[in-house]
Amino acid sequence: MVIVLRGALDENDLLNLRRPLRRLWLAAFALAVLSPPAFAQSDADFLAAKVAYEKGDRVKLAGLAPKLNGHVLHPYVEYWQLKLAIDDTAPQAVRDFLDRYPDTPLAEKLRVDWLKSLAKKSDWNRFALDYPPPSGEDPDLACYGIQYRRQRDGDAMLADAKPLWFNGQATPDSCDSLFAALISRGDLTPADRVVRLRLASEAGNVRLARAIAIELPGNDRISERDFHPANSDFQRALTAGTFTWNAGAGRELALYALERVARADAAAARPGWVKWRDKLPESDRRYGNGRLAYHAARQLNPSANDWYREAGDSPLPPEMQAWRARAALRALAWSDVLAAIDGMGDAQRQESAWRYWKARGLLAKGRTAEANALFEALSAETSFYGVLAAESLGRRFEPPKSEPLVSTTEALNAFGARPAVRRVVKLAHLDMKAESQREWQFVVRGQPDDTLLLAADYARRVALYDRAVNTAERTAARHDYSLRYMAPFRNEFDAASRSNDVDVALLYAIARQESRFSPDIVSSAGAVGLMQLMPGTARWVANQLGRKDYRSAEISDVELNTLFGAYYFKYWLQRLDRMPALAAAAYNAGPGRAQNWRPPAPLEGAVWVETIPFNETRDYVKKVLANSIIYAQAFGAAPQSLTARLGVVAPRGATVNDPIAARTE
């Protein structure tokens, strides 16, 4: 049987239902798309099977499996059984599963599990049958793959392992024998090993850095005893310069100490570094100068741009080069901004942020025609910098033309009847969000625009808003902005907006970024609902509003969640100069950080946003503010300017205390 979507509720009807009713509707929908034998199957049995799998209880799982024959999620039960017995499973059982469920996330996971099991047993003949997997390799499997090619084609294949060495994170055990062979052959030189020592140090991976250091050959080796003075007091070791500067070990230990001190406080690291750095070779000195400047830039130290100049024109990794540009931006040193962007690799230089700031730099230098050409190209992009570019040209940003797909009932029904789509809906109903999302990714990957828009419309109709938005964003040429920027729960958002005197477009922009409009979502940190409220925040807001009847179980209720989220945003908006950029940063990263990131002198809001130290928060603020402009247009509001909304960020004033944090200390 297939459900008929004729007369389906739209999102402003369906999803305004309270959580219990909404979930009952989704459950009914999930049941309606199942074949008759599945009606008798118990979701409780399936969830019990999931628990058995998670506990590694093969006996209980085997007892439950027959009850779930015909259940829409039976492939998961089969996978769990094979996974728990992967080292003892008959090859034909794996082959049968892969053949029955091709192009599914379960088949992909089983193929990788199976390959790793075979590799551990050096069963290279069977390994060759399924290698490589169709969608890439993790580092563990990549090293097993090189082991396979080495035994087949000889030691020349070891060269494939060398790029995996240059990694600041620990690598899997499957890579160890390959690295040992490369070192033994001299293909990983002492200099290569020092490079990884520095990468580990830069990544803050102390354990890996020390493991590499104590295995370095000759004068480059740093013993555990050598590490001790630096580890006990990095600052004192750097200030005193108690290193054997003329030996490789001493130089690396000094740079290690610099990294550790500068990571915490670049200004505190500088005096000791400046005092002793001339003892180092020029290349090492420039490396240290660059690392010090990088940390200073991320700490918003006003001297960071000057310190970057001391690194010279040495090539820098993309992240360090980006912060070179940001340090120059913060200093409003446009020549240095242009130089930093010109020093980027081609791919990084083409990112919208750096094309915009290059245009701004050219404009500051009087090269108006070149700047306007960059602005013109950028203004066609639906992004933070696309909006700013259009406004730089003196016009209102206009999204590309929206060409919605008129989804027929037949097309929607056929799409919904697909086994993978049925699994998506059922997994969502059972709160298996990650599994549901993975299934959906396989459904939509590689699809043309019309199919993506059909899938997005279907997801909207079955209350899977996150899937609807994300899928609509995948289209390349045909776009539907009513799906990309959907506005469910309009009554609740309008009420929250009126109650708190906050622009409803801003509230929608926050919810779109926080939850993609999934009312029941819970983050890994414990934030809940459309506006991703922490339980402590919700309790504090309830007290502020005099809601003595509030119960923690209500936190995901749409009306309450939007109201409380709007109040919390307004609270910080009022205390942070009514600047949406500062308030959005406070909402994401905490008000104390937003306040600490304020400049010592007035600074253009766009520059302030670009120099937010946290990558996640910087991206969050950009998307919230740009999306608020697009929502305002969709709602027919008076034209709004992103440039005006960003304004000028004033220096920090009185300390802003977080009352919620204070209540929990």
Per residue in 466-496, pLDDT (tens digit) is: 999 999 999 999 999 999 999 999 999 999 9
Give pLDDT tens digits for 172-210: 999 999 999 999 999 999 999 999 999 999 999 999 999
Give the phi and the psi of residue 250 in degrees, each rounded to 5.
Answer: -65, -40
Over pLDDT 90: what percentage of the chain? 84
Give the model's pLDDT for residue 2: 36
Q: Return all residues near 283 (Cβ < 8 A) that are at least 6 apart.
A: 314
Question: 187 and 233, same structural domain?
Answer: yes
Q: Which two tokens stand for residue 595?
A: 């306040």
Has residue 103 got a pLDDT over 90? yes
Give the model's pLDDT for residue 18: 43
CA distance 415 to 650: 53
Single residue among 283, 317, 338 that ends a domain in this structure: 338
Give pLDDT tens digits for 323-353: 999 999 999 999 999 999 999 999 999 999 9
Domain that holds residue 57: 35-136
In a domain, 361, yes or no: no
- CA 494 from chain centre, in angstroms, equals 30
Instruction: Please state whether 640 falls in left (phi above 0), alpha (psi between -120 and 50) or beta.
Output: beta
Has residue 662 got a pLDDT over 70? no
Domain count, the chain: 3
Does the annotation count 403 as an active-site position? no
Q: Are 569 and 583 in contact (CB under 8 A)?
A: yes
Has residue 408 got a pLDDT over 80? yes
CATH number reported for the structural domain that contains residue 502 in this entry: 1.10.530.10
Single residue among 338, 362, 386 that ends a domain in this structure: 338
CA distance 601 to 560: 39
Has residue 224 got a pLDDT over 90? no
- Per-residue pLDDT band for 34 (boundaries 50, 70, 90) equals very low
Give the model's pLDDT for residue 230: 60
Q: Return all residues near 389 (Cβ < 8 A) that are at least 6 apart.
A: 356, 359, 374, 375, 376, 378, 379, 381
Q: Are 624 and 509 in contact (CB under 8 A)?
A: yes
Question: 577 and 641, same structural domain?
Answer: yes
CA distance 79 to 554: 36
- The secondary structure of residue 552, as a DSSP letter, is G
Give the phi and the psi of residue 522 in degrees, each rounded to 5.
Answer: -130, 125
CB neighbour class for 212 (10 Å; exposed up to 12, middle 13-18, buried from 19): buried
Has residue 547 got a pLDDT over 80? yes
Buried b / exposed e over 384-402, threshold 16 CB at 10 Å, is bbbbbbbbbeeeebebeee
Mean pLDDT of all residues in 386-403? 94
With H, G, I as helix, E, B as strand and everything else as coil, classify residue 535. helix
Question: 303 and 200, same structural domain?
Answer: yes
Has residue 15 got a pLDDT over 90? no
With H, G, I as helix, E, B as strand and everything else as coil, classify residue 437. helix
In a domain, 586, yes or no: yes
- Helix then strand then coil, in percent of the chain rounded to 5, is 65, 0, 30
Instruction: Please state whether 332 falls in left (phi above 0), alpha (psi between -120 and 50) or beta.
Output: left
With H, G, I as helix, E, B as strand and everything else as coil, classify residue 186. coil
Q: Which two tokens stand for residue 285?
A: 């000195």
Q: Return all residues near 324 (Cβ < 8 A) that are at least 6 apart.
A: 293, 294, 297, 308, 311, 316, 336, 340, 343
Least confident of 214-228, 311-325, 357-371, 539-553: 214-228
Cis peptide before 132 (omega within 30 of 0): yes
Question: 638 and 538, same structural domain?
Answer: yes
Give pLDDT tens digits for 61-72: 999 999 999 999
In a domain, 571, yes or no: yes
Give the model's pLDDT for residue 658: 67
Question: 166 and 129, same structural domain?
Answer: no
Give the model's pLDDT for residue 28: 45
In a domain, 647, yes or no: yes
The amino acid present at 35, given as its one-letter code, is: S
Residue 603 pairs in a beta bridge with: 649
In a domain, 476, yes or no: no
Q: What's the pTM?
A: 0.91
Element (H, E) at 145: helix 139-153
Has residue 503 got a pLDDT over 90? yes
Element (H, E) at 441: helix 433-444
CATH number reported for the structural domain that contains residue 46 in this entry: 1.25.40
Q: Which two tokens stand for residue 334?
A: 């446009």
Single residue among 338, 373, 402 that ends a domain in this structure: 338
- The secondary structure of residue 604, as a DSSP letter, is E
Q: Which two tokens stand for residue 614?
A: 């946290």
Q: Which of 381, 435, 514, 610 is catalytic?
A: 514
Q: Which two tokens stand for residue 221?
A: 């080796």
Give the model's pLDDT for residue 35: 41
Question: 82 and 43, same structural domain?
Answer: yes
Give the model's pLDDT for residue 656: 58
Give the model's pLDDT for residue 24: 41
Strands 648-649 and 603-604: antiparallel
CA distance 147 to 163: 15
- Residue bearing tokens 């969709």: 634
- Residue bearing tokens 């505190």: 268
In a domain, 9, yes or no: no
Q: Return all residues near 582 (Cβ < 8 A) that are at least 6 apart.
A: 572, 576, 594, 598, 649
Question: 112 and 174, same structural domain?
Answer: no
Residues in the chain: 665
CA distance 299 to 582: 17
Q: Classify the C-alpha dihedral 487-606-650-291 as positive or negative.
A: positive
Give the phi and the psi of residue 603 in degrees, each rounded to 5.
Answer: -140, 135
Has residue 319 got a pLDDT over 70? yes
Question: 216 and 325, same structural domain?
Answer: yes
- The secondary structure of residue 478, as a DSSP letter, is -
CA distance 436 to 520: 14
Give the model's pLDDT for residue 660: 67
In a domain, 217, yes or no: yes
Q: Return all residues near 396 (Cβ < 8 A) that are at least 6 apart.
A: 390, 639
Q: Return all residues near 574 (Cβ < 8 A) that are at least 6 apart.
A: none
- What contacts 24+ positions apart, CB below 8 Å, involve 167-173? 167/196, 167/199, 168/196, 168/199, 168/200, 168/201, 168/202, 168/203, 168/205, 168/208, 169/200, 169/203, 169/205, 169/208, 170/205, 170/207, 170/208, 171/139, 171/143, 172/139, 172/140, 172/143
Give the model's pLDDT for residue 661: 60
Give the model's pLDDT for residue 171: 96
Give the model's pLDDT for residue 27: 46
Over pLDDT 70: what percentage of the chain? 92
Give the model's pLDDT for residue 39: 44
Has residue 148 got a pLDDT over 90? yes
Element (H, E) at 456: helix 449-461
Question: 635 and 505, same structural domain?
Answer: yes
- The secondary structure of residue 648, as a DSSP letter, is E
- Per-residue pLDDT band for 31 (boundaries 50, 70, 90) equals very low
In a domain, 78, yes or no: yes
Give the phi and the psi of residue 649 in degrees, each rounded to 5.
Answer: -85, 120
Ordered DSSP codes for 50-88: HHHHHHT-HHHHHHHGGGGTT-TTHHHHHHHHHHHTTTT
Give the model's pLDDT for residue 11: 44
Question: 514 and 641, same structural domain?
Answer: yes
Has residue 10 got a pLDDT over 70? no
Question: 626 and 519, same structural domain?
Answer: yes
- CA 471 from chain centre, in angstroms, equals 17
Question: 120 and 171, same structural domain?
Answer: no
Has residue 9 got a pLDDT over 50? no
Q: What mean pLDDT is reported for the chain?
A: 91
- Per-residue pLDDT band for 657 (boundaries 50, 70, 90) equals low
